[in-house]
Amino acid sequence: MGQILDGKALADLRSIKLKEKVAILKQNGINPLFCVINIGNDLSSKIYLRSKKKRATEIGIKQNIYQLSENVTQENLLALIDRLNLDDRVNGIMIQLPVPDQINLNEALAKISPSKDVDCLTPANIGRLWRGDHFVEPATAHGILALLNYYRIELRGKNVVIIGRSSIVGKPLAALMLEQDATVSILHQKTKNLEQYTKRADILVSAAGQVNLVTAEMVKKGAVVIDVGISQVNGKTVGDVDFDNVAPKTSFITPVPGGIGPLTVESLMEQVVRLTRRENAR
């Protein structure tokens, strides 16, 4: 059976170091402030907000949540973003996803100041990401790379296959892995015969949110498997990977829960601190 990539343990370890950095900032009169805009009452969003709030408090980051009604107008959302952009106390801004249908998400994201964009979703920061001169990284992609680095899993020259092309995980992860000289393929819903690609992967990342999408037959012996998917089945949190059957074929594998999830939250806090230090030339 493959070695478990323990994201929770690594997140806790990185949290200790991040807390020390925040303490130094505070000694110099700098107090990191992170603002999250949440629209409506999506249950999964509420759970994620609580986990972020808990981690921020532990580290010493102040997190303000702006709870907007389900029917908030685009105009009012953009006005709030403008106010946060202009507030010198605010170091990071993010919009919690998903958002209701009346919201033009791309317009709202473009409104966020790139210097406060903790999700790396503004057009300017996405461009920097692909150009290779970024100063902020999407949290999940950042967490995946941190996990691979911690376990000394080399990316250079490796064949990486990513299932999922979202702007949150698939696309930015591909950009960051290309920076480290991996050969990257991105698969999606329209890709035919996923297995012909996945069986060649040295590192397979699944971020589709589809239960048991990745089976043992799709994975070559000795592969590294990263499961980013999160679904609920009979009250249990599960990923995209048929873990029990896939794990024996792998060299390394992430569990769900306890793999990438905790590192996503931790990495988000790291981006807040990174932006805070950048803003204050630290």
- Catalytic one of 21, 52, 111, 158: 52
Residue 5 pLDDT > 90:
yes
Q: What pTM was computed for the model?
A: 0.95
**Full strand arrangement of the beta sheet holding 62-68:** 62-68, 33-39, 92-95
- Token pair 């105009």 is found at 75
Catalytic residue among 117, 119, 202, 242: 119
Residue 149: name the closest of 130, 177, 186, 178 by CA. 177
| Residue 35 host element (H or E) | strand 33-39
Which residues, 6 or more positions from 241, have their beta carbon under 8 angstroms from its beta carbon?
Answer: 206, 212, 213, 214, 225, 227, 229, 253, 256
Dump pLDDT digits (tens) for 172-207. Answer: 999 999 999 999 999 998 999 999 999 999 999 999
Residues 233 and 181 reside in one and the same domain = yes
Instruction: Look at the chain and report how many structural domains it folds into.
Output: 2
Query: pLDDT (tens digit, 9 = 90+) per residue, 50-100?
Result: 888 999 999 999 999 999 999 999 999 999 999 999 999 999 999 999 999
Smallest CA-to-CA distance from 95 within 86, 74, 87 is with 74
Domain termination residue (choose one: 97, 113, 129): 113
Q: Are residues 104 and 165 in the same domain?
A: no
Active site residue 96: yes
Given 95, 113, 131, the domain boundary residue is 113
pLDDT of 267: 97
Q: Are residues 101 and 214 in the same domain?
A: no
Annotated catalytic, 52? yes
Residues with Cβ within 8 Å of residue 44, at least 6 apart in sequence: none
The one catalytic residue among 6, 21, 63, 96: 96
Average pLDDT rounded to a whole number, residues 132-136: 95
The burial class, CB within 10 Å (0-12 / 13-18 / 19+), for 92 is buried
Are 153 and 233 in the same domain? yes
Cα separation of 135 and 271, whole Å? Answer: 9
In a domain, residue 187? The reply is yes
Cβ neighbours, 10 Å, residue 156: 9
